[in-house]
Amino acid sequence: MSERNTQVLLRTRPEGKLSPDHFEIRQVAMPEAADGEVVVRSVLLSLDAANRAWMQGATYKSAVEEGDVMHGYAIGEVVTGGERFEPGDLVAGELGWQQYAAMREKALQRMPDHRPISHLHSLLGIAGKTAYHGLLNVAGIEAEETLLVSAAAGSVGSIVGQIGRIRGAHVVGIAGGAEKCAWVRDELGFHACIDYKNDDVAEAIRRHCPNGVDVYFDNVGGPILQAALFAMNLRGRIACCGAVSQYDTAEPRSPAGIPGLLVVKRLRMEGFIVMDFADRDDEAQRDLLEWSRSGELRVAEDVLEGIESAPAGLVGLLAGENRGKRMVRVGPDPA
């Protein structure tokens, strides 16, 4: 192969807000597979708010260091065979922000033959499974309960609210901007959506959740988590999925009233990561696929073109410009 490999590196670690200037694009020689490795061609790269958190330090994985090829989870096609994989196999793993990666076979996961492949990132991927496990296996939701979801137009929130609706809950989203809120209501079928950029969030929660909030699915942390805490009903549950409002800053802030509000209202706040529920993924995928096929659950995807679009794509995602699951098409689907 005489092709070159395009990579995106983290040039400097951001101190405050992330910008495309923190990244650098370069061309290098094609990777070669060492013993136990295969070369994988990236097809669809997932962009996630968590990418930004990885730059703040070690989370559930090691931090991204300056000069590293930016870390990222992608679906790709095996191009040089190894012991477990053959050319043409569809796999997923931490391929990073690049067109080609030499990967240890053990670090790859075989992907099912499902089309469109993009669903393996959205409906059936981390987004869909995070929504499913977080709402049903961490928080729990009952018919007639009130569910509040932040980042409601995002990859996870858009599915959380729809599952809540399917389960018979009163579903209220929170998103940024009137247009996005209208989309959340009209296209995704949330009962209401609060515009945190223009509404008084605390007042709007009271208005749209007249019976209080039983479950808050938190993707953002910060002041919206604070407003939700005050609105929670006795024995309410908060599924802590992320804190996107707190990633893109040098000074994360915590809500007041912890632990006092938890005691007085007997609240449960629980952090989770989708991998914790791998043993129940089959059930999640079966339900999600069924809801999608019946038309009850709409899959929202937001696909950018070319690995070079990843830096601006992540910055835009942190600013909330995406609708549904954002990803980057790095190369064509396997034949």
Interaction residues for its own copies, span 32-71 (CB under 8 A): 53, 59-60
The residue range among 25-33, 263-271, 284-292, 327-335 that interacts with its own copies, by the rule CB under 8 A, is: 263-271
| Listed residue (184, 192, 128, 122) closest to 152, CA to CA | 184
The answer for 193, left when phi > 0, alpha when psi is -120 to 50, beta otherwise, is beta
Q: Which residues contact residue 48 at a Cβ distance below 8 angstroms, ignoring those fewer than 6 apart?
A: 73, 126, 155, 317
Which of 70, 175, 225, 318 touches its own copies (CB under 8 A)?
225
- The DSSP letter of residue 245 is H
Shortest distance, position 176 Cβ to its own copies, whole Å = 19
Task: Write out the E strands in 80-154.
Answer: 90-93, 100-104, 109-110, 146-149
Shortest distance, position 224 Cβ to its own copies, whole Å = 11
Shortest distance, position 100 Cβ to its own copies, whole Å = 31
What tokens does 149 get? 């979801």
| Listed residue (194, 186, 195) closest to 213, CA to CA | 194
Q: Rounded CA gap, 284 and 129, in Å?
A: 6
Residue 230 engages its own copies in binding (rule: CB under 8 A): no
Q: Which residue number, 120 or 317, has a Cβ lying nearer to its own copies?
A: 317
Residue type, 221: G
Q: Which residue number, 47 or 269, has a Cβ lying nearer to its own copies?
A: 269
Q: Which residue number, 260 or 306, has a Cβ lying nearer to its own copies?
A: 260
Shortest distance, position 332 Cβ to its own copies, whole Å = 35
Q: Rounded CA gap, 63 and 60, in Å?
A: 9
CB atoms within 10 A of CB 179: 12
Q: Which residue number, 13 or 268, has a Cβ lying nearer to its own copies?
A: 268
Interaction residues for its own copies, span 302-331 (CB under 8 A): none
Task: Write out the E strands in 65-175.
Answer: 74-78, 90-93, 100-104, 109-110, 146-149, 170-175
Shortest distance, position 205 Cβ to its own copies, whole Å = 18
Contact 164, 141 (CB under 8 A): yes
Shortest distance, position 309 Cβ to its own copies, whole Å = 28
* 64 sits in which H/E element: none
Residue 223 engages its own copies in binding (rule: CB under 8 A): no
Interaction residues for its own copies, span 267-296 (CB under 8 A): 267-273, 276
Shortest distance, position 252 Cβ to its own copies, whole Å = 6
Which of 70, 152, 241, 297 touches its own copies (CB under 8 A)?
241
- The count of residues interacting with its own copies (CB under 8 A) is 36
Q: Which residue number, 120 or 261, has a Cβ lying nearer to its own copies?
A: 261
Contact 245, 13 (CB under 8 A): no
Binding footprint of its own copies on the chain (CB under 8 A): 53, 59-60, 218, 221, 225, 235, 238, 240-243, 246, 252-273, 276
